[in-house]
Amino acid sequence: MHRKKNNKKLTATGRKSPTPSGFRPIVLAWVMCTLTALLGELAMLALILLRALVEPSERLGALAVILVLTAAFSGMLGLTMLPFVLRSGRERIPRQAVIVSVAISLLPLLALVGLFLGASGN
């Protein structure tokens, strides 16, 4: 009698992994895109506050535009990955996490529209 070999991956605790192996990288990429967008937004807010305290310069304005473009690109990438994250894997992403992620991803796009409207008004 031959025993069948169990080829299922085990976690560090010796249990079966509950999620497919392709699920973790896409969730990690989605989280990293969302966090990059959030950090870009926070840095842009810090620059806006700094601009209120010191004399405005072109360098601060250029840095703010670079930050909002980076946050917008990362947010769009996160929104693009969201359907794949929701469909892949056995574990569900909490609804609150999805709502916060969508809000974080959309805020830089709104800031970008605000920058363009502000630039066209000058």
Does position 91 have pLDDT exceeding 80, yes or no? no
Of the listed ranges 10-24, 39-53, 60-74, the least confidently predicted one is 10-24
Q: Given a cut of 80, is residue 7 above it in pLDDT?
A: no
Average pLDDT, the chain: 81
Q: What is the pLDDT of residue 42?
A: 92
Is 10's pLDDT higher than 80? no
Torsion region of 89: left, alpha or beta (phi above 0 gives left; psi -120 to 50 gives alpha): left
**Whether pLDDT at 21 is above 70:** no
- Band (pLDDT 50/70/90 cuts) for residue 102 is very high
DSSP 12: T
Cβ pair 19, 90 in contact under 8 A: yes
**47-65: average pLDDT:** 82
Predicted confidence band of residue 81 (pLDDT cuts 50, 70, 90): very high
